[in-house]
Structure 1
């Protein structure tokens, strides 16, 4: 183009040579094919609990302390200071607050293990021992709840452990009304059947029988441990009285006859007995500490696991008497309606009554379908709660370790205290009775018993 005029092409140039050559197009495929390259989330097994005992125990530790008795308008009542290590807050609760919390927790998690509360009224024992026992039971209850893999993340538990307002009971009920029961909020509640194994009923029966036997054994272990802890406390009293009598014996100022004083070491031995009441008072205190140690570390852990086992037993009964019974009752009612419908088709009736009966049948079918879904969800939860029981079983090693450590510590304290006293302060007593050697033998026997040793039943001595 020159001066607005188009110049002609050379004669020897073909017009096709001026065409633009098309570049090759890359083939990327369809966009939907790229979706397979996305990172896939890990497939979770909804039915399996992955937490072990240490992980469950580390979820939270809640301390429940008894506040001194308060006077109400008409009746006296006590309060408890509840301190959550997880939320780092302390709140004050009455027994009635625990009662309402237990009520709404059972309504929301009807298909889970909800521990029972201690009785409200005093059954036996003094007032102080009753309040102390109830405080321990409330502590076990709230710790089992706060460490449960599903309860611990629920708003009800957080409200109970953190709400510091004036009316926690109303707050708990309002929280439950907003959330509803677990079946209404769990995302896989209506799909629970797909996750259940084919032999779920057989597995449930086998596990239930096994856990029943475990419950019976732990119940007997708890009784034995309670008696041993009680004997340690009684031993503390006996040691104190024993020391006092030795002191009284050593304080006797009666003159020793001359025919006995020349050949007897009683005079020097009697002087050595005076100070032993102090040493036996120390031993009494050590024995009392051992009793409290066994009560806190052994008996209390046994009670904790027994509370969990009992709540599993209650859950099984709720499943059988609640969900299954209601399902069977709904099926029976549905059968009666179907028979009424068949008789209505044979015997002519008013159209309105027939339509009403058909509507009731449809409603009953929907109710039965919902109950079937709840039944499968109940089995789903039962399977998970069974796993929770087995996750807690390693607590047996914790209990056994605490028992052995308490026994070893108790006997070591007896040996160290008496051997030091007899060797330094009472040489006459030590030489005359050879007590140091006897104490060494006693502690070796208690700490490392020999399977070949036999005891004389009459004198309770080694043979």
Structure 2
């Protein structure tokens, strides 16, 4: 196909790209399907007995034929590309298990796969290359036509391969996994942060991320001592160093009592264990959250109002199968609510407001912006489960009335979740601060580059749209020219009449080409362009989250620590002195209050750092969408290129019937 594209005048850069090249073509029409299972009759050359020289040539050819090279350079049907994408390739390789699944769609059973695998899968290999995969599909087509399965047959029919029939191929999606690791017999080693520094481990590594302020041993014990018989109690470092597990895993709340000196009252910290476990599960999923994503579409519903009109939008959830009507003000309220409930999470921005002049172009851009916003929310592993998010996507009543009737809880995530931070500390990388600084230095430049990519892609789309319009204009002009030249000034001239009729064919296929380009641009606008903008928006939202963190994470841990240390020294000095009992009691109460504040702020600081680590991992996982972005874009471009080539080939066949120079006398 690449040769056809390169040689096609459609892709030329000169002003005559609508003029086909002059070439001679011959056509043969088969009355019957040459690939039908019954009565298959190869071409005559293949039926003739081989002479000695022919047999020697064939032996020389077959010696070099392998599954990896037999179809190199062959223009293969589209189903080969689609099947390859569905097989989940990794690094131009497909696992043997995935190949078996795809071959199994042919419905011929495991014996046929064994025969095909013997021809295309190298000895003891766990994967096949793309060329070997294509050869396997070609052999499947041969098997479905009851033809001999051999690489020689594939070579002989490489230019007229039977198209394999794969049932339900569009519903197949094989998880991408490294075929080199698929059948490893070595025991799996626990992955550490050193192996994947951007990953939040699903199993807490043995780490000790304590607070830097606790240096006085007596204060450490008083603030967060450890009862070794209770695995849920806070330690001085916030970590559970024992191997014990709680007997009551279903309890909603646990109480941690710190071991303190006799002069202090024990400090109780009530935490929610179930919420903590759910939070850890949502934030530590590696790719599971990526497999079951909702897709939200936002479209214009209607305008309302007379003097002050506003626009309603339909918000449709594919996964929930719900459609609700929302205004831009509802989206804005929803955005502000999420910022208050999740200040340390990545919350994308809304498209800008506009008071007047809401034309079709503006509304289309706003719908795309609202779609990017809401899809980023439902693709976030934590935000997608928020009750306000679910309500926004499912509440059928007028949302303004619902907002007035039910005020959501606007407390920040730490207050609402009340997590067991000693369990979360193990998921915070030791070098989190250096990672944050690294990403802060890199993201502004990355966002700038993505802005450029979006701009270039928009220009490319506009150029294609202009080309489609010019092709339609050319078609209209040809029709007008046909009306002008429908009668030749030379009497009894048949050739000019055929040329004029050829105008209609050229115009029709130019119109078809224009439709293909319009479909391509529409796909690019909703596909690659929107995905580029989404990735850019998430990167910008991450930087804004870091700005919010710098404003909202202020604490008094250091000051409280110094105050507790000073009061503890006074208590030790005055305890037992006659007449100072009331002062000692007051200091004990103050120390307990300050200790509770300090523990609370330490827990909040730990939770904020845990959120940063989770969002950093979330940002890293967005690269998976970038990978899919380009894979899907290239696949779509290949499809449209083939439709374009087929369109020009069909026109070329019709133009071969036009009169030749000798027909004009």
TM-score range, shorter chain: 0.5 to 0.7
- In the other structure, the counterpart of 2:641 is 411
- Is residue 251 of structure 1 aligned with residue 483 of structure 2? yes
- In the other structure, the counterpart of 1:137 is 369
Deviation at 1:246, TM superposition (A): 2.9
Aligned partner of 1:84 among 299, 317, 320: 317
- Is residue 61 of structure 1 aligned with residue 295 of structure 2? yes
Q: Which moved more, 1:395-404 or 1:306-315?
A: 395-404
**Which runs of structure 2 are paired with 1:273-284 in the superposition (5 Å)?**
273-284=503-514
Please state which structure has a larger fraction of its residues in helix: 1
SS in 2 for 1:79: strand
SS in 1 for 2:473: helix
SS in 2 for 1:115: coil
Distance of 1:48 and 1:81 partners within structure 2 = 29
**Which runs of structure 2 are paired with 1:12-411 in the superposition (5 Å)?**
46=280, 49-52=283-286, 55-56=289-290, 58-71=292-305, 74-121=307-354, 127-166=359-398, 167-170=401-404, 174-177=407-410, 180-188=411-419, 190-191=421-422, 195-253=427-485, 268-323=498-553, 326-327=554-555, 370-371=600-601, 373-411=603-641
SS in 1 for 2:380: coil
Distance of 1:150 and 1:37 partners within structure 2 = 26
Q: Is the 8 A contact 2:282 2:381 kept in 1?
A: no
Could you list the per-position Cα deviations for residues 175-202 of structure 1 after superposition, in whole angstroms to 9, with x for gaps in the alignment? 225xx21011234365455653333211
Distance of 1:51 and 1:365 partners within structure 2 = 35
Distance 1:386 1:195, change over 3 A: closer
Distance 1:37 1:419, change over 3 A: closer
SS in 2 for 1:60: coil
SS in 2 for 1:121: coil
Distance 1:57 1:209, change over 3 A: farther
Distance of 2:340 and 2:420 partners within structure 1 = 16
The two structures have a TM-score, normalised by structure 1, of 0.67
- In the other structure, the counterpart of 2:172 is none
Distance of 2:363 and 2:507 partners within structure 1 = 34
Q: Is the 8 A contact 1:65 1:81 kept in 2?
A: yes
Q: Which moved more, 1:228-237 or 1:162-171?
A: 162-171
Distance of 1:105 and 1:270 partners within structure 2 = 65
SS in 2 for 1:420: helix
Q: Which moved more, 1:242-251 or 1:313-322?
A: 242-251
Q: Is the 8 A contact 1:239 1:281 kept in 2?
A: yes
Deviation at 1:268, TM superposition (A): 4.5
SS in 1 for 2:299: strand
Distance of 1:280 and 1:160 partners within structure 2 = 46
Distance of 2:641 and 2:509 partners within structure 1 = 15
Distance of 1:204 and 1:97 partners within structure 2 = 33
Deviation at 1:36, TM superposition (A): 8.0
Q: Is the 8 A contact 1:247 1:276 kept in 2?
A: no
SS in 1 for 2:479: helix
Distance 1:36 1:234, change over 3 A: closer
Q: Which moved more, 1:109-118 or 1:362-371?
A: 362-371
Q: Which has the larger radius of gyration?
A: 1
Deviation at 1:206, TM superposition (A): 1.9
- In the other structure, the counterpart of 2:67 is none
Q: Is the 8 A contact 2:301 2:311 kept in 1?
A: yes
Distance 1:165 1:372, change over 3 A: same
Distance of 1:62 and 1:122 partners within structure 2 = 26
Aligned-residue CA RMSD (Å): 4.2
Distance of 2:434 and 2:320 partners within structure 1 = 41
Distance of 2:650 and 2:620 partners within structure 1 = 47
Deviation at 1:126, TM superposition (A): 6.1
Deviation at 1:115, TM superposition (A): 0.9
Distance 1:129 1:331, change over 3 A: farther
SS in 2 for 1:132: helix
SS in 1 for 2:476: helix
Deviation at 1:144, TM superposition (A): 1.4
Distance 1:84 1:247, change over 3 A: closer
Distance of 1:368 and 1:415 partners within structure 2 = 71
Q: Is the 8 A contact 1:81 1:93 kept in 2?
A: yes
Distance 1:171 1:137, change over 3 A: farther
Deviation at 1:295, TM superposition (A): 0.7
Distance of 1:163 and 1:297 partners within structure 2 = 29
How many aligned residue pairs are there? 366
Distance of 1:37 and 1:308 partners within structure 2 = 38
Deviation at 1:205, TM superposition (A): 1.2
